[in-house]
Each structure stands twice: as C-alpha cells, then as structure tokens.
Structure 1
Amino acid sequence: MPRPVDPSPPAISAREAEVLALLGEFLSNAEIAARLFISVRTVESHVSSLLRKLEVPDRRALSRHAAEQNRDRPSSPAPVLPTPLTAFVGRVREREELAEAVKARREVTAVGPGGVGKTRLALTVAAQLAEAEGYFTDGVWFVDLVPVTDPARLAATVAAAVGVGEQPGRDIDESLLSTLADRRALLVLDNCEQVRDGVGPFLERLLGACPHLHVLVTSRARLLVPFEWVYPVPPLSREGGDASEAVSLFMERAAAVGLPPDPTVRGRVVALCERLDGMALAIELAAARWATLGLDGLTAGLSDQLRVLSGGPRAHDRHRSVRAALDWSHDLLDPADRALLRRVSAFVAPFTAEAAGEVAGYAPLTPESVADGLGRLAEQSLLTVVPSAHGTRYRALETIRQYGAERLAEADEFLNTRTRHADWCLAGAADLGTTDTGADWRARFDALAGDLRAALAWTATEPARPSEAHELALRLAELTFAANLLGEAQQRYEQAAELAVPVEAVSGDHPPAHVTTTPEGRSTSARAMPLEGAPDGGTDPGAPLGGGTAPRAACPDLSRIPVHAAADALRHAAGVAGCRRHGDDMYRLHLAAGEVARRGGDTAGAARDLAAAATVAYRFSSEFAELPSAAEATGVLGQARKLAGESDDLAAEAGVALAEAAVLADAFGAVQGGADNTAQETVAYAERAVDLARRAGDPVAESAALDALSGARTWAGESFAAADAARRRIDVLAAAPRTPASAHELTDALAMAAGTAVGVGDLPAARRWGARLAELPMLAEVGHYATSWLLVADAFAGNAQGVVAGGTRFLDAWEQSGRQRSFSLGPAAAAAAMIHGLRGDAETRARWLALVGEAGTESEYRYGYGAVFEAMHLLHQGDAEAALRRVAPEPEQVWKWVSWIWLHWYVALRAEAAVLAGHPEAEARIAAAREVVEGNPVASAQVERAAALRAGDVPGLLRVARDFEAAGCPYQAARTLVLAGGEHAKAGEEALAGLGFRVGVQGHFAG
C-alpha cells in the first residue's frame, strides 16, 4: 500500500488520503476496495467527497492530481504480501491490539485453532504496519510455511521469500542473518505448527543476529520459547446480534456465491454463526453452500455434527469448531468425493487434475472421474482453484489437508496413496529433466519441489522403501542443482548417499571447520596457500608422496553397500561443494567416497576419489576454512597411488598424476625451484597428467590437469603457454556433460582464462571470458567472484565508467557474501583503487585500498599487483621517481609475486619509469622488457613508448598511440598523446577528460 499523500486541503481525512494515493496509481474502485479492505460503495463515497473538496471536474483529473503528488514523495519498500481476493471483515479490536503488540515486541505469536482466521488477521495487520511511519521502513515479508515439512528447510524457505540467494563460503542460515542484520523489517511466518520445534531455535538465532527485526508468527500452538509474546486470536465477535462480525462475514461471503440472503433471515444467521463458534473457516464453508442448500439445509446438516463433536473425546479442544465444520462438509459429500478429498491430501502444493488422477484415481475412483470430483470439491470450498500458466491447479487449505490425511489413515489408504504420490513425484522429476532449465522449467520445478520434498521425507522413514527414498533424494539433488539451489543440492546428494549406506560411513570424523588466517609466505600461483605443517614448508617436490596419516573418514563394515550409488552421490556432493567454494566439504566428501568405494571393492574408484581429495587440498587451498596438514594430504595421495597400482586403471592413474602435478606445482610456487625440482620438471609432470586424462576420456580431469600445466608454465616464465593452457580448458569442457564437477571446473576455467588473458595483454579476450563467468546463473549471487576479472581488464584498458559501475555491483555482492576472502578480490580492489586515483577521487581510492588488506598478504600487494597498479597511478600523476621506487626490485627478486599475471605489466612499467625518471639503466631495462613482453600488444606498446620517449621520437609516440587504440586501451593512447607534448598534448588531455580522468601527466616534450 503506498504512503498516503499529504491531505490538501486539511479537511481531507486519513482514509480519503489513502484513497487519493491509490487513485494516483490509476486503480479502479474495486481494486482500491480490495487494497484497503473496504467496500466498493465506501470507495465511491470517498471519491465523491474528494472531487468536491479538491474542486476537480472529474475522476480522471483527480487521478492525475494524485499521481503528481505521489511522484513527489519517497515511499518505503512495498510490502511483500499476498493480495487478498476478498474483503476483510471486522476484527477492529484485534487489529489494533495485535499491531501494537508487534510494534512493541520482537516476537509475537498469534495462536488459535485452525480456521479461526489467524492468517487473514496477520496479513491485514502486516499491511497496516507496512504503512506505519517510522517502523518497518526496510520491508514487510510474508512466508507461508505450509509446504515445509522439514525444520531444516526453514531458513531456505524464509530466504527465498526475502530474496536471499546462496552465497559461497556460508550456508543459507548465515546468508539470511547477514542480509537481515541491519534491517528494520517485519517478517510474518504463517502456519508454523507443523515445524514448531524448528521455528523456536531458528527465531532465536534470527532475532539475536538482527536487532531491528520483528516477527509475527501464526500457529495453532505456542512456540514455548522464553522470548515469545502470545496473542490469542479469538473467534469472530458475535456481540451485536445480526450486526456482529460473524454475521457480516457470512452475509458477505454468501452474497459472493449467488443471491444475497434476504435481510429478514439475519436473525437465523446469527444462530447459525453461534453454532459455528464464530470460526471464520467454518462460516465461510457454510456460506459457500448457501446458494444450493439455503439456511434450512445448512442448519439441518450442521446440527448433529456440532452436538457429536463439541467437547467430545474424538478431538483436541483446539480442533473442535473447525473439525465440526469440516466433518459437516465431509458428510455432505458422496463416497467418491470423500475418497478424493482424503487422497488429494497427499499433495502439499497446488496440483493439476491429471496429477490427482494418477495419485487418487484408484478404486472406487477412476482417473477419468477425478476431474469432475475436483470441481465439486472446489464448489464446496474444500479446494481452492489456483489459475496458473500451465492450467488450472487445485489446493487444499492446510487445515483441510490435515483433515483429509486423518481420514486417509482411517480408511486404511495411507500407504497406497503415499506410495502412488511418491511414484508420481519420481515420474514428474524424470519428466522435468535437467537439460533445458529456462524460465518455464523453473516454474515447473517450483510447482513440483514441495511435493518431492514431502515424498522424500515420508519414504526416508519407511524401511521397506530404501530404493525409492534414495532415488527421490538423487532426483531432488539433480533438480535443485539445476535450479541453482546449491546448498540444498549438496544436502540432497549427501542424503542420497546416507540412504544407501549408514550415515557414519559417509560423515567421517572431520572436526567442525573454523576460519583460520592465511599463513604468510603462501604461494601466489592461481591457488593460494601451501599446506600447513608441510615438511620444509611443503617445498620438496622430489620427496616421496606416500606415507602420512590415514584419511579422516573412517567406515564400518560396508560389505553390502550399493557402492556405485553411494560413492557417485558423494562425488556429486563434492562437486556441488566446489561450486559453493567450500574446500573443506570437497575434501571430506572425496575422502568419504573413496572409503565407500574401497570397502565395496571398487579399487579404481577409491584411487580416483583419494587422489581427488589430495588434489583439492593443494589446488583449492584458499577455499578451506581449515586445511588438512601436509602429512595428511600426502598420506592420502600415497594411498591413492597404491590403490591405483593395484587396479591397473587408466583413469585412476590419471587422477594420481593430477594430484602429483598439483602438489609439485604448489611446492615449486612456494620456493623457487624447490630442492631437487626445476620448473621444466614441474611442467613435465603436468603434461603427463594432461596426457593420461585425455587418454582416459575424462574432460573434467583433463581440464584440471591443464590448470596444473598453466600454473607450471607461469613458474617457468612462459606466460603465453600458460594462457593457452587456460583457454584449452574451456574447449575441453565444452564436450563434458553438465555435472556438479564439470560446472565447478568451468567456473574455475573461465576465471583462469580471463586472468591469464589479462596477463598476456589480450584484454578483449579477458572481458569475453569474464563476461561469460559473470553470466553463469550459478554465480548470480557471487557477483564479486564472477566480476573480479572484468574489473581488472577494464582497469588496464582505462574503462573508468565500466570500473565505477562494476565496482558498485562488486561491493554489493561481496557484502552479501559476508565479505568472503578470495585470491581474485585483492587485484580487483587494487584495480578499482587505481582507476579512482586516475579520476582524482582520493577518498574512494582509499576505501578500495582498505579492502585489499582483507584479501591476501602484504607481500602480494607490495610486490605483485599492488606494485603494478600503484606505479600506473604514480606515473599518471607525473611522479616518475615514486613509480620507479615502487617497481625497484628486479623481477627475479620478487618473481613469485609477479610471474603469473603481473610480470609483463611489471617489467614494462619498470622500463617506462626508468626513462621518465632518467635512470641510468633505462636502456637495459627497455631491452630486457622487450624480450619478456614480446607478443603482448599492450605491454609491448608500453615498452615501445618508453623507447620513443628516451629517443625523443614524437612520430614513434604517435605510432604507439595508435597501437594502444588497436589493443583496446584508449586511456594509454590518450596518455601517450599527452606525453608527446606540443599540439598533441591538448588532444590527449581532451581524450583523458572524455574518459573521466583528471589530467595529471605532463607533456614530455615541448613540441
């Protein structure tokens, strides 16, 4: 509801102001009535009054007047609340009391029996509070917990309603807490009774972390937590006789289904509402039958049921009134419709007639008779019709669905119906598939997901149905992964494995992860740190890789395990963990898969899994919260090597070779050359891994081996070969089927391709790969990771506009991720700082530089990317001496910080700074740099600019400016013109200003 405009003249009432504001949205009288919960006739009266008071000629002019006032006023976030389809009747006192309670207290539970009207009251109060000045300025959200059967899904369900997505490095609970931490907002949790035991602990965490958040809960029972304030929702007031709230509700609803009741019968309606105990649901069900049964029929049909159930032993007190209404409605059905009502209670989400036919269409029903029966149930308000893009769907209110489930058990049809429902879910999941996942697919998945989860929850507790439970978990894992619900996908894959093997067989004894500080002196190849506790710092590539401690996952006797099903599920779970950038989970799950495979006699599979665990420990070490020791990881690798030798399997041999290459590449990166290993020997190990993976026909393993090769090439100083290996990964993965492992590998491949393209000056390619990375739906909530290389590429090109806009998105996504550490964060932040420095925005530059320290070590910034970006900034300011000091160390002195992406830029800047500062070794530096950067279009142009500046070659500078333009670097082209001086300097200064930069360089020549 929009914020009302200021009444003008003052005689306009508050309600008229609300009507006027909605007229400014060009709503009809009926739409305004539904929004404000008043009658159409009342709206018409307010419109007439406004026409008179504002002295406007007609309704169109009145709407234009209101629209102009609305545009001049800021509004609070629109409440995320369902739009009521019927008017809200009565409850004036309850609305006021509950609204005041919610404003004054952090958690309020509106309790009462099913059907008393808790949901409509909560929605009305929430809509009212959304417009209250100074309260819930950051939003009001409504979360329906009806489909939730597993308390573990509470956070995910609330997050989906609030709009919080999966964030790498943290679970959905942490993501939700982070998003709501500072929000002044109201959260309405509806229908909590079926997950009451989970709601209390969930709210305790939520409210403790979010001091400005208020929660309104509706439930049949109290949560029984100390911070709860309970508001009992009474039945509709019957005071006032034929003018009571209960009678008004009956008359309004009865009029909606046919001929309105004659006013002369209102007295008898009072008696009927008294018999229904003022329960809103019971009254509405009775009113729905008014047109066909009339008052006599309603009274006769209800009388016996009320007398039998009121206070009797067949129901709890909180069920009496609603059960009376439902029993009455149930007894009016013919036997076939009764069977249909109880059988469709298996569905937790809206369902189609076809789905109901498959689940409920057995004797005495047939699939063909179900559709007609659904129509009759909908006419009697026992089902709600839900139009959708895929046809009509039906839904039972939760109270009615629970009632149907009880009747299902009484009829001894529970097992048969739930089995058919589980089979329908499996068929639906198979039909849905995971190949085409567009918008239509997502809508179909959302329609099926709630029932899949419910079917899984049931079958998982049925000892006689382990295969169905395992398949449901596996299908749900595949679908949630395709839907980019990565946290649930990992959970479901692990659940599938647990349903195939004992839980202790896959959980292991890995201690809880905790955040640790990155050790100083870590490797700065594409991966971060060497393993903690490695002998001699983990830098002896020639040492044997066997031995060490046993894996963390210990398993009991699993001789009768379905090995492939369990191990494959664990491998997929590890792949999802990789997509989430949870290194600890990747390592744990690969170990568990290896142990399950080994105990089941799959020696080759066990070798591959253990080798994968060892590879993860080195290759993705920056994504661990707690790294395994080097002794442990190398011990795992030793076991993998032994098992691979026993299996004589090419894929296992390839996996071991990859692990060895990853270990050696990391060890070589930690200390140049290692003890007995050279860079070329490390390259040879990686090339062997690539060859074996290719021969084994495993594109994911081949891509991983190419990554090791790319890293080895960088240490060997072969930048172009490293970039080529990174690009080859993308080609290799193009033919790979989409699995969690291949999806994880592709995200890494795109990031590495973008980074190495920057390193060799191919900025268009860097932007191309970076854009592909940013467009991956799986990374939609990880914008800082997905866009980091775009920032770096744009910074080198001098695209200030792109860096400023991209930097805003980058920071927002990084904050949402919980300020996650990443090896790509530092360069991106330093690049953005450099651009803001060129723009003359010192304050913003300082803020970006402050972020750099949260990404890596001082050495990385001091001698690597920081030296490059700071030198560029200093040269732009004309401070060549300071720039020269910034890149003073010879590349060989700081080689491990600059040998990856930054080497070409580093040596080119050293040459230019030396020339501009008049350094005596300028000529030698130019010559050395030419040899290193040959083939890099941007860095080569920088070196040639330095040579032209030293020689006083203005025509040469103009040629360099054109080379920069051709390489996609307009900033460097403009700067070259300024350095050329004379008439060219003015053109260069204008170009720099056009790019958004403050002119800081000075012309190097007078003419």
Structure 2
Amino acid sequence: MSTSAISVRESEVLALLGEHLSNAEISSRLFISVRTVESHVSALLRKLDVADRRALARRAAELARAERPRPVSALPTPLTAFVGRVRERAELAEAVKTRRQVTAVGPGGVGKTRLALAVAAEAAGDFADGVWFVDLAPVLDPGRVGAAVAAAVGVGEQPGRGIDEAVLAALADRQGLLVLDNCEQIRDGVAPFLERLLVACPRLRVLATSRARMMVPFEWVFPVPPLSFADGGDSEAVTLFMERAAAVGRPPDPAVRERIAALCERLDGMALAIELAAARWPTLGLDGLTAGLSDQLRILAGGPRADDRHRSVRAALDWSHDLLEPCDRALLRRISVFAMPFTADAATEVAAFAPLDPAAVADGLGRLAEQSLLTATPSAAGTRYQALETIRQYGTERLADAAELTDVRSRHLGRCLAGATALTAAEAEGTDRPARFDALAEDMRAALAWAAGRPEQRADAYRLALAMGELTFARNLLGEAQQRFEQAAALAGEGEGAGVGAGDGAAALRQAAAVAGCRRLGDDMLRLHRAAAEAARRAGDTIGAGRDLSAAATVAYRFSSEFTRVPTADEVTAVLAEARQLSEGGDPAAEAALALAEAAVLADAFGAVQGAADNTAHETVELAEHAVELAGRAGDPVAESAALDALSGALTWAGDSFGAAAAARRRIDVLRPVPGTPAATHERMDALAMAAGTALGVGDLPQARRWGRQLADQPLFAEVGHHAMSWLLIADAFAGRAEEVLAGSTEFLDAWRRSGRQRSFSLGPAAASVAMIHGLRGDHEARAHWLAVVDRAGTTSEHRHGYGAVFDALVLLHHGDPDAALVRLAPEPDEVWKWVSWIWLHWYVALRAEASVLAGHPDARNRIAAARRTVTGNPVATAQLDRAEGLLDGDVTRQLAAAAAFDAAGCPYQAARTLLLAGPAHAEDGSAALARLGLTGG
C-alpha cells in the first residue's frame, strides 16, 4: 500500500509507534483519545499490510530513514589525518550508540579530542538529528555550559525561561549525539547540566572528553590509552610520527622506524608529545630528538608529577619551549591568554612589548606554527592562529613564572574593552556584523572573569560588563545580557572611587530589569527595579530611587501574568507609598512614573471588580491620561508608551474599544524612532501585541495582521513561535484564511511544546482560532485535538465566557446550528464583561445578534439595535449586523451589500458565507469562495 494513502494523523501515529510509545502515550502526545489511537493503529495495520504493532514500528523506522534528509554534521574539520586507534574507535563508537553518556578520560595530550571527533564522524549516520560539537575549553563560567551547548545546537533563548531550559526543551525529542570537549575545567557546571539533559532528553547521547570522569548517573567511562608502541616499527605511535614528520619536511627513512619506536616509547605514546617531536624532525633529525628528550626526561624524572603520562607531555613541551629562541618563548607564553583564534594584529596588541616588537610577533607566529605549537588557519579575513588547550595552560604557567601575567592580562583586557566599545558603536550605527562579536566573545568573557576579581581593574571590568550586556542583548543572548548588566552593577558598587559608583550601578540594574522584561520574568523585573532604587538612594539620587520604585509598582500590576509569585496588594501599596515620598520635588520623569504606577494600580483594581461604578472607570481614565501627558512632557517615549498602555486598559474597562485601539496604535508611533535598547525593545514587543489585539477588537483585520506580522518578525521571538504567531493566527482565522492558519499552526504547536506548554492570555485564543478553522473545514477530530491544546494553553474562564464562546459560535453558525450557537452566547454582555471587554466584545454582540435572528429569537431585532450602539465604526461587526437585519427582513440586496462590505474590510470568509445565506441563486458562488479559502460549505 502506498504511504500516500495514509492520512496526516495516521502518519503522526505511525511516527510515534516508531518511538515505541504506548497507545496512552500517543494519546497524550497528540491530544486525542486512546480509542482514536486504536482506530488509527488498526487502519495502519491494514493499509501497510503488516501483522502486528512491532512490524508497524519497524516500518515507521524504515519510512523515517527513507524520507528524512540527513542532517549536516556540525563537527570541526581537523587539519591533519587521523592515525590508528582502530580498536578504540570501534569500542567507543559502539558505546555511544548503546549508552546514554560516555566520557573519554585521559591526561592532556593523549588524543581524546581527535578520537572523539573521529568516532562522532563515523557514528553521525546513526543519529537521525545529527551530531553537535561543543568545545568547552574557552568557557570559564560553570553557569555558561548550557549557553555553549545552545550556540552549538542553534537554540536561542525563549521569554519566560533560561537558556538551559530552552536547550532541554529543544532537544527533548531529538535523536542526536552531543560531543562535549574539554570538560575538566568546569566539571562543576557540566555535571549538573548533563544530569538534567539526559533525564529530559531520552533519545540523546553524549560523548564527553575530560581528564576526570563527570560523576553523573548515566556515565560510562572509557579510559583513552596512549598510542601503541608495542609493535615496534609498525605501531600506531610510529605511524603518527612518520606522517607528521613527512608533513613538515623530508619523510624519515623506513630503516629508522625501530629507532623512532624507541623514541615514541620514551614519550609514552602520548599523541601531543609525538606531534611536537615530529615537528622538529627536519631540523634536528633522530639523533638531536633523542638527545634533547633524554636530557629533559632525566631532568624531570624526580619531579612531583601525579601521572607519568603527564610527565611525557610536559617533557615534550619543556623541550620544545627550550629549543625556541628567547623572543619566541616570550611570544608563546603571551599569546596563551587568547581563548579564541586570533590574528597577528591581535597578538601584536597584547604581546608586542620588550623584548618583542611588532615585527618579531608576526615572524614568531609563523615559527610557532611550524613547530606545531600553534595551528594556523587561512581565511578570507586573514590567517587566524590558535593554541591547543594543553599548550595554553602550559603558556599560562610560563607567563606566571616570568612575572608577566598581570601585564599581559591587562593588555588583553584593554584589547577586549576596546573591541567591545567599537562593537557597541558599530551596533548603534547599524554597521555591526555578528561574526565580529563571535570572534571576540570568549576572549571578552575570559578577560572579564579575570578583571572582576581584581580591585585595581574594577572600573574597566565594569565598562566591559556593561558593553557585553549591550552586545549580548543585541544578539538575543538575553540570559547573559541580564547577567552582565547585573555584574556591571555589582562592579560599580564595589569600584566606588575608581571612576564608577552606585549611580552607575542603578543605571545598569535598570537595563537588567528591562532585559528581564523581554524574558517575561516578572519576579526579576520587580527585584531589579527595587535594587536599582536602593543603588540610586546610596548614590544620593532620591528622585531616581522614587522613579525606580514607581516602576516596580507598575510592573507588579502591568505584567502580573509573568510572575511566579504575584506580589500582594499590601506589598505593592507599600512600594508605591515609598515611591510617592521619594518622588516629591517636581521632577517630570519621576512624576510621570508615579502617575503611571497609580493608574496601573487603579486600573487593575477596577478591572478585578465586575460592574464597578462608572466614576471609578472615569477616574482611571483621567489618571492614565495624566500619566501620558507627564511622560510626553518629560520627553520619555518609553514611559509615554507605558502610560498609553495604561490608558488603553482603562478605556477598555470603560467600554471604549475604539479609544483603547487608538491608544494602542499611538504606542507604535511613539516608539518608532526609539533605538532598540532593552527597555524600548520590551515596550515595542508589548505595544505590537496590544495594537494587534485591539485592532482585532474593532474589526480592523488588515492592520491587525500587519502588526501581528511585525510581532512575529521580532528577533527576540525567534525561538518562541507560539508567542510570535498568536495574533497573526487569530487575524487570519477571523478572515478565514485556512491555508495560512494551518501552516502557522504547525510552527505554533511545535514552539509551544518546546516551551514547556506555557499558558498566556494570547496562546489560548490562538489555539482556539486554529480549532475554529478545523471546525469550519469539517475536521472535527482535528478541532478536538486543538481544543485540548486550548485547555492547556489558555484559562478555563476566558475560554468558557470569552474567546471560546466567539470561536465556538462561529463554527456552530457555519454548520447551521444557530440554536446551539445562541446557547453558547446566552449570557448578556454585561454578565461576561470581564472576559469579552478587551477584544471579543464586538464579535460577541454581533454573533449573538445574528444567532438570535437565525434561531428565531423573539428579541432578535432589539439585540441587533443594542449591538449597533456598541460596534458602530467596526466594519466587520457592522456588516454582520447589516446581514442579520437583511436576513430578518428577507432583504437580499442588503445581504449582498454586506458581502461587499466584508470583502472591503478584509474578511473574505464572512463575505463567502453571506453568499451562502443569501439563497440558492448565490450559493454556488459562496461555495466556490469558501473552497478558495480552503474551507467547506456549512
């Protein structure tokens, strides 16, 4: 049987059978009943002509292999060929297929990384989702392990969750191999991350390299032995030496293989030591190599080495180092501060001081590369150099021995600070290129880690942390951006008297709070605004402290849905009272912030009480208008947008949908010229969402779609398609654009699942809009599936009384069941005001009036009249009422005029449905119009 005869839902069931899930697990994953799963399994057995469930699972795997494009391997390409290790490669390759986590352990220089890369390349075909390589050598902060993995896997941050959680969610269903290289220096970060990763991602395998085991539950340790030298001239060690020696000059004569074997035995078969020795073959020959290494081994024989194999690598490094000219020795130790590949110009900035001049640095890099102490990689931007981690560690020791560590680290810090400053300037001018940041990022992190612990460097550390906060924010590394701004604040507090102080700390904390807002972390927003107030108070800036406390009170109400623990009314009242006391003095910005806080608090209190007095609504609107006026006078567009948001909310509760939409629309204009700071970006994201929502509420579908599209295209939403697509889905669903909705729904659902199935005021309606489109298409099983998503993504009361009633009624009317639609819309608008007042009110009253007409309700004409008083100015709702009145009066001409009005308002679905309702003469045109939209007739 051709797989083309299998439905989309059957394909989903088949894929999950291939993962050996039970019917109950499949039911939970797809949001369908167990009985429906059983029905699909029976159909698949018949269609694929297989005997049992096990055969179905095998067939699923076959189809997956045949249809899925092979992922591109994300492994670095070694510059030299891999030699030997046939047994180890086979054993390790089998281990990564059958064990959850394998750690290849061994001393530095034994060849762990090259072995892991060879095994990963061979095993890549066995992992459906590919292989990822993460070099942890440049990572100094244990808390950044997840960020390093995210960068390698291509996972961005998601609002409302940290980068570690985003990685776990993204890899939860992936079948891949993750290679973590150089874990030893941050085992404290790797081990807990791995434990969480392997629990959350059951199909993932991990291959780690380290000098010590990770000590995690799933770990299987594979000791990496030295290269064999027991077979004399035919050993792996000798083969490696011969190949590397041939690569740098005249190949050794085969007759000396036995003597080379003896040399390799002295080096204990350590790959790095052998490669360093082979690099000297053209100049020293076998006798010189033997004599030099013999001396070093005698010198080191009594040294306090914990591991003989470490001794052999150290011997080779000491020997290679001592053979260098003094200038090249200085260069080797000085360039050890670079965490990332570097250019000759970069090396010159850091290393060119006595006894080195710029020319000596440029020449010396070439000589170090010739001796295998550096790798040189040509690129379009010029040659980049890099030292292996073992050599970097060795160089750092030599740097300390030469009493140059502070000087060279300070130069490196200065270069990183200059680079960060140039990058922030380029970012402001719009001329930045992401590759420039990527090339410098790990060096900036290393420089900051060093400087942050030294009092004399605090001022520069503060400036670098602040610049890194701006740069990482611009690249959507929001978790690190918040961390850097908080770090800058801490450094400012500790560095008072060195050019920075508490005032600088307050400014950095405000930036951190704005980033937390972009991450949808309400608790952090509140904490950071209060911390900024305290820092401002220490700096003697009481007005600034009052402004920060006003912002804290505003956040508590304005973004209450983003808190894990919503502050109590008493807590917020106390903060607001303190803000009032500190804001006395006539500062326009402080007055505007205080007015906004008071408007937000009152609007929330008013909205919480259904049927509140009109004078309370009027007072709330007046307060919000006053906040808008003050913010405009203060010249702060971000504050003005926030005040307009409060005004939009107040007008909503006052029943002025058009005023609310106008205020939301003004926010877009106010923010348009503002640079993309964290505060402006957070405000712009919220403004687009509110503008799209309120435009939907007044029937401006084209504008709602445009703003929904802009919101979806926001870079910060790159990883959260469910948030990004929400308003776009709703706008397209109301318009009846089924193909666009169904295409977007896949992205929405995948992103929502990756996010941990979050709830939000926009996610429930978006899922309900997809369910509606399936309902209009007559696919009731798919509709039930999406309604189950609604139950998880939205809130029950809003679905029951608000958007759910609107979308359900649309489906029921489409299928000719106005009585059921009228039951769904039975409550008077005042009874469900809290749930319909913002977006759904006009849709609710217009649908209710139409359902009354079609169901023959005796009060239908009065309901039309009452609805008109509410929706006047809404082109879609007005056309719907015109159609309802035309149906009530049997006026076909008026109905056809309504169809034209729907088309003009960007609502082709209702235009097509109008033709169906207008009678047999127009039914064929209506059915054709619905078919073009991907819908069916009712």
TM-score by length of 1: 0.84
Q: Structure 2: which amino acid aligns with 1:874?
A: L
- The match for 1:115 among 101, 109, 118 is 109
Name the counterpart of 2:31. none
Q: Say whether 1:826 aligns with 2:817.
A: no
Are positions 1:262 and 2:245 aligned together? no
CA contact (8 A) 1:673 1:679 kept: no
Once residues 766 and 238 of structure 2 are traced to their aligned partners in structure 1, the CA distance between those partners, rounded to angstroms, is 66
2:565 match = 626
Q: Deviations over 1:162-185 (max 9, x none)?
A: 222212212122222223334443
Q: Does the alignment pair 1:641 with 2:584?
A: no
Residue in 2 aligned with 1:334?
325
Tell me by how many angstroms 1:211 deviates.
3.6
CA apart distance, 1:104: 4.3
Instruction: Specify the SS of the correspondent of 2:222.
Output: strand
The secondary structure found in structure 1 opposite 2:81 is coil
User: Match for residue 460 of structure 2?
Assistant: 468
User: How far apart, CA to CA, are the structure 1 residues paired with 2:408 and 2:191?
Assistant: 32
Distance 2:123 2:676 in 1: 47
Provide the residue aligned with 1:450 in structure 2.
442
Q: Is the 8 A contact 1:184 1:213 kept in 2?
A: yes
Corresponding position of 1:390: 381
Tell me which residue corresponds to 2:719: 781
- Code of the aligned partner of 1:273: C
Query: Per-residue deviation at 1:348?
Result: 0.3
The corresponding residue for 1:852 is 790
Give the superposition deviation at 1:701: 0.6
Structure-2 change in CA distance of 1:293 and 1:275 (3 Å): same
Structure 2 counterpart of 1:762, from 674, 680, 700:
700
The 5-angstrom pairing of residues 147-546 of structure 1 reads: 147-224=138-215, 228-313=219-304, 317-433=308-424, 436=427, 441-501=433-493
1:589 to 504, 509, 528: 528
How far is 1:252 from its partner? Answer: 1.7
Match of 1:809 in 2: 747
Residue deviations 1:418-463 (CA, integer Å, cap 9, x gap)? 0000011000000111654889621111111100110111011112
Give the letter for the 2:686 counterpart: D
Residue in 2 that maps onto 1:567: 506
Determine if the alignment matches structure 1 residue 603 to structure 2 residue 603. no
Distance 1:709 1:561 in 2: 38
Is 1:833–1:849's contact at 8 Å kept on the other side of the alignment? yes
**AA at the equivalent of 2:461:** A
Residue-by-residue CA offset, 1:811-830 (whole Å, 9 max, x unaligned): 11111211122110111111
* Aligned partner letter, 2:768: A
CA RMSD of aligned residues (A): 2.3
Matched, 1:989 2:927: yes
Show the counterpart of 1:955: 893
Structure 2 Cα separation of the partners of residues 558 and 216 of structure 1: 49
1:793 is aligned to: 731
Contact 1:434–1:478 (Cα < 8 Å) also in 2: no
Letter of the structure 2 residue corresponding to residue 433 of structure 1: T
Q: Which runs of 5 or more residues in structure 2 are unaligned? A: 1-62
Q: Tell me if 1:897 matches 2:835.
A: yes
Q: CA contact under 8 A between 1:434 and 1:482: conserved in structure 2?
A: no
The aligned counterpart of 1:62 is none
* Aligned with residue 907 of structure 2, among 969, 981, 988: 969
Partners of 1:853 and 1:558 in 2: CA distance: 56
Does the alignment pair 1:732 with 2:670?
yes
Q: CA deviation at 1:264?
A: 2.4
Matched, 1:578 2:572: no
Supply the distance in 2 between the matched residues of 1:391 and 1:985 (Cα, whole angstroms). 69
Aligned residue type for 2:220: W
- Structure 1 residues 819-864: Cα deviation after superposition (integer angstroms, max 9, x where no partner): 1221101111111110110011111111111122224433211221
How many Å apart are 1:154 and its aligned residue?
A: 0.9
Q: Which has the higher helix share?
A: 2
Question: What letter matches 1:454 in structure 2?
Answer: A
Structure 1 Cα separation of the partners of residues 187 and 309 of structure 2: 16
CA contact (8 A) 1:668 1:677 kept: no
Q: Aligned letter for 2:505?
A: A
Instruction: Choose which of 77, 82, 88 in structure 2 pairs with 1:88.
Output: 82
Deviations 1:296-332 (A, max 9, x none): 4433433322332245237754521111111121122
8 Å CA contact 2:327–2:360 kept in 1: the answer is no
Distance of aligned partners of 1:841 and 1:230 in 2 relative to their CA distance in 1, 3 Å threshold:
same
Q: String of CA shifts for 1:745-778, please: whole Å, max 9, x gaps.
A: 0000010011111111111111111111111111
Cα contact 1:558–1:600 (8 A) shared by 2: no
Q: CA deviation at 1:707?
A: 0.2
Q: Is the contact made by 2:644 and 2:667 (CA closer than 8 Å) also made in structure 1?
A: yes
Determine the C-alpha separation between the residues in 1 that align with 2:436 and 2:380. Answer: 10
1:46-85 to 2 correspondences below 5 Å? 74=68, 77-85=71-79
C-alpha contact (below 8 Å) 1:473/1:495 kept by paired residues: yes
Query: Which stretch shows the higher mean deviation, 344-353 or 151-160?
Result: 151-160
Tell me the equivalent position of 2:120: 126
**Cα distance in 2 for residues equivalent to 1:222 and 1:894:** 61
Distance 2:77 2:187 in 1: 26
- For residues 274-296 of structure 1, the C-alpha deviation after alignment (integer angstroms, 9 at most, x for no partner) is 22221111222222233344334
2:348 counterpart letter in structure 1? G
Tell me the distance in 2 between the aligned counterparts of 1:283 and 1:687: 77
Matched residue SS, 1:364:
coil
1:570 match: secondary structure? helix
Conserved? CA contact 2:84–2:236, under 8 Å: yes
C-alpha distance in 2, partners of 1:226/1:667?
Answer: 51
Query: Given the alignment of the two structures, is residue 614 of structure 1 paired with residue 606 of structure 2, yes or no?
Result: no
TM-score, normalization by structure 2:
0.90
Matched-pair contact (CA < 8 Å) for 2:514–2:678: yes
- Secondary structure at the aligned position of 2:792 is classed as coil
Tell me the equivalent position of 1:917: 855
Q: Give the direction of change, closer, same or farther, for the CA distance of 1:318–1:642 in structure 2 (3 Å limit).
A: farther
Cα distance change, pair 209–338 in 1 and its aligned pair in 2 (3 A): same
C-alpha separation in 2, matches of 1:828 and 1:226: 41
- Aligned counterparts of 1:901 and 1:226: Cα–Cα separation in 2: 51
1:879 aligned residue: 817
Deviations 1:476-529 (A, max 9, x none): 1111111110011111111111222369xxxxxxxxxxxxxxxxxxxxxxxxxx
For the 8 Å contact 2:424–2:467, the answer to whether it is kept is: no
The answer (yes or no) to whether the contact 1:311–1:320 under 8 Å persists in 2 is no
Distance 1:390 1:639 in 2: 56
Percent identical across equivalent pairs? 72
Higher deviation after alignment, 864-873 or 931-940: 931-940
Q: After alignment, is 178-187 or 603-612 more displaced?
A: 178-187
Deviation by residue 1:241-271 (Cα, 9 ceiling, x = unmatched):
1111111111222222333323223233222
1:200-256 C-alpha deviation (Å, 9 max, x unpaired): 232233233334433222112333556543322111111221111111111222222
Amino acid at match of 1:934: T
Most deviating of 446-455 and 223-232: 223-232
1:888 to 802, 816, 826: 826
Change (3 A) 1:775 1:661: same
Query: 1:671 offset after TM fit, Å?
Result: 1.2
918-927 or 420-429: bigger deviation: 918-927
Q: Give secondary structure in 2 for the equivalent of 1:349.
A: coil
Question: Can you give the 5+ residue segments of structure 1 that lack an aligned partner in the other structure?
Answer: 1-68, 504-556, 1001-1007
Check 1:675–1:940 CA distance in 2 against 1; reply closer, same or farther (3 A cut): closer
